[in-house]
Structure 1
């Protein structure tokens, strides 16, 4: 059998020190990547100098003219990897470090969609990939009803592989056949839920997603998914959650759930986030209605 090739895609923005650790981790892999595609989201720190110095790695660097968000960066990177003809594409963030055998474990697994299992710096399991992402129950305010780390206390408790229903673009690997079938990450998300959207499309196309116990990434920062819903990130959290429901809700009640969430947020805003949160959720519902369909740039290649 022909040995498969793999391109790593990294999206980075003004985190040169973290990026250095990630690149060191890739340089230490027992199975070296064939290409490393770095999408620099218009960084203003010394990211360029870090990349220019890494002559030990097969880097292909794209610097955007403006910050296109994680979603835009992974769209650019996956498209470049696909157009480059690589057999597999491994999406990673700039704030993780893989164990030396991480890529070898993934490349040795004969599946189309794979997810690493992440730890924090203290060795605690922090893998948030959903075992169940419920888009059938309108009463499930949060569709992620079970995750890897809420189900298994430690890595030792995990079976060798666990099927998951969503992923993070922080260690997710696909074969090119998946991209051929379902397309690319949707850049219109900017941040948040672009990975969920892609995973749903892959599963609906018949692909299974497996989290591998022995493929380990270590997050270099605290895993904090609590964002200020009255701030700019709050808008994207609301809007993109609503988009996922509009696009993939499996019944009319689930597709109407964003309107109920928006109403509740507005009613509770005086005792929660105030005017900022209410304004965000109103803008979010309006914007999400215009994103009911996958953007054309994310469609499967022709």
Structure 2
């Protein structure tokens, strides 16, 4: 009976896009080819200046397009999209980036599991497992410089080596399926992150509320682009990567030593900057530390209480 109930639930897909119209075409084609059709596809267009709006003129999907007056970042886009899906009463919300393509049976497989939090498992265009969701995210050990101490890709190596379900400590907002009951309890993605770690934050809140998160081996999602953002620590993305990593430690660190790690990391990066990212990375990490201190608490817009207030509408 639980499986039947799960399969009867309504599903809204939330896609966030910004100036990647050609990738968005493949993503939408993948949604249109799903065996289990979504009940709504809510696309948040983050003020794109390319031909995204032309791509979104199609009638083979139940599209709802939210065009923002400015770029809200991935975090702001998912905040708006999840809020919209929640307000429309959908039972489950499936979060997607614009550079992934689901296999035709991906949603069918996910919906066969009566669980509150499920994650598709990503592979690259050659069929190699590239799922970086954490099997262990350590916010207890102050000596763990990087809290992600295990991930699906490194633990299993291949999809064939995985069990059917793998318990995860965090997720990416690329194929994450969550029930509205979870959103009602823990709130929305936090738009203050702008980019990076908004998905980690959401998963940590879900787990602390007692939810378990499962990676579903046979729910395949194909990622069209390589993971290369970690090499930009001296650029503008590096600022957000450092700042938001620090925010996660300050919000969810399980002891004082872990909550002090941002200061130690910032000091180490600044001292070593002549040997790696130079002055730009040093400036990034010091500004990130300063700004992270002002984000120690969940944004009011993301808190459960915000769901009781009507949202502002994008243009």
- Are 1:6 and 2:11 matched, yes or no? yes
* Structure 1 residue 102, shift from structure 2 partner: 0.2
Contact (CA 8 Å) 1:36, 1:57: kept in 2 or not?
yes
Matches within 5 A, 1:1-302: 3-52=8-57, 54-300=58-304, 301-302=307-308
Task: State the alpha-carbon separation in 1 of the partners of residues 133 and 273 from structure 2.
Answer: 30
Task: State the alpha-carbon separation in 2 of the partners of residues 223 and 141 from structure 1.
Answer: 20
Unmatched segments (≥5 aa) in structure 2: 309-315
* Structure 1 residue 274, shift from structure 2 partner: 1.0
Contact (CA 8 Å) 1:227, 1:233: kept in 2 or not?
no
Aligned to 2:139, the other structure's residue is in SS state coil
Normalising by the residue count of structure 2, what TM-score does the alignment of the two structures yield? 0.94
What CA deviation, in whole Å up to 9, does each residue of 1:15-59 have, x standing for no partner?
A: 11110101100110000000000000000111101101x111100
Extract structure 1 runs of 4+ deviating beyond 4 A. none
* Structure 1 residue 278, shift from structure 2 partner: 0.7
Higher deviation after alignment, 43-52 or 1-10: 1-10
Task: State the alpha-carbon separation in 2 of the partners of residues 149 and 228 from structure 1.
Answer: 22
* Structure 1 residue 108, shift from structure 2 partner: 1.2
* Structure 1 residue 272, shift from structure 2 partner: 1.2
What CA deviation, in whole Å up to 9, does each residue of 1:168-221 have, x standing for no partner?
A: 000101000000010000000000000000000000000000000000000011
In structure 1, what is the equivalent of residue 312 of structure 2?
none
RMSD of aligned residue pairs (Cα, Å): 0.8
* Structure 1 residue 227, shift from structure 2 partner: 2.8
* Structure 1 residue 226, shift from structure 2 partner: 2.0
Aligned to 2:25, the other structure's residue is in SS state helix
* Structure 1 residue 249, shift from structure 2 partner: 0.2
Task: State the alpha-carbon separation in 1 of the partners of residues 199 and 114 from structure 2.
Answer: 22
Aligned to 1:226, the other structure's residue is in SS state helix
Unmatched segments (≥5 aa) in structure 1: none
With over 3 angstroms needed to count, the CA separation of the structure-2 counterparts of 1:225 and 1:231, relative to structure 1, is closer
Aligned to 2:140, the other structure's residue is in SS state coil
* Structure 1 residue 224, shift from structure 2 partner: 2.1
